Amino acid sequence: MTTEVPHLFRSFPLSNLTLNNRVVLAPMTRGRAGESRVPNELMATYYAQRASAGLIISEATTISEQGNGWIGSPGIYTDAMTDAWKGVVRKVHEAGGTIFLQLWHCGRASHSDFHGGEPAVAPSAIAINGDYIHTPIGKKPYEVPRALEIDEIANVVKDYQRAAERAKQAGFDGVEIHSANGYLLDSFLQSKSNHRTDAYGGNVAKRTRLLEEVVGAVTAVWSASRVGVRISPNGIFNSMGSPDFREQFLHIASRLDGFGLAYLHVMDGLALGFHQLGEPMTLTEFRTVFRGPLMANCGYTKETAERAVASGYADLVSFGRPFISNPDLVHRFLNNIPLAPDADMKVWYSSLGPTGYTDFPNAS
């Protein structure tokens, strides 16, 4: 008698790709690129170790110097960076994996220490309400960012497009646009952080304009079926959470539906905190306005992920923290092997080389 394969481990057609399973490596900033922000062999090893995921989404990767705001995170805006990413992609492909690059601009979640004394940029001059930020020269209080002038916004869109072009040159299988967690695009989307009165603020449609322009620019480089977008409707990270969040994010999803994207990556789980401005949004709501594949994220277990996929609630589920200490997470899930304990948070973003990064063993 044959045993039916659980839904989480069935293949999934994504554009003209076939993912081996529905388990996705979520994008996680790990900070191993060093001061140069150029990817390295250690990073290639890290991703290749996790190539059994149906899809790997890279750590958030900055599209420009202006977009920087995290120590040791990689970029995709120079020839050296692009060439170095080729080695990472090659190693993942040799291990049988599929990998998308996540495109990132930190926006106000940055500091003038990253920019030669110039302030970070944002939709409006509103600072993150937080204790401190780690900068290249130590912990500092969050600063009030500079509101982007309207004629500067086109350059930001071009930076996303150029980064998408470089991702294609590097051999990635696709890209994901990071529009979550209070970074630049998310801060434009939300009324809490966007107080503009011009064409990029004032109502849900205008606040969505920049994201739509970025998606349009990126899909001029890549087929839309190789482009994903990540959003965080319930999140509080980087001082987010807007009273009109439900109206805003349903509008966003309905607009993105028209592009024919590879997927919409929704942080519907509450593991990173919930703003409590109304009932949390779930993928069931997004199913009503977005017809493409939906990816769930944030705090899922093997059991809750299987239920989500089996019920049609999600097509794919991404896992972050469990993948750090379990490079063979898919194998462990499939064979009911206990997971290794979560890695100590002290090593998540450290510059300790392989320690807490590539030194986790597979199950015996």
Active-site amino acid positions = 183
Phi, psi of 104 (to 5 degrees): -140, 140
Judged by DSSP in three states, 216 sits in: helix
Q: Could you write out the DSSP letters of every residue in 291-332?
A: -S-EEEESS--HHHHHHHHHTTS-SEEEESHHHHH-TTHHHH
Nearest to 318 by CA among 331, 332, 335, 304: 304
Q: Which long-range contacts (CB under 8 A, 24 or more apart) does 150-155 make?
A: 150/198, 150/199, 150/200, 152/121, 153/200, 153/210, 153/213
Tell me whether strands 263-266 and 294-297 are parallel, antiparallel or unpaired: parallel
Residue corresponding to tokens 């004629």 = 151
Terminal C-alpha separation, the chain = 28
**Would you call 139 exposed, middle or buried from its count of C-beta atoms within 10 A (0-12, 13-18, 19+)?**
exposed
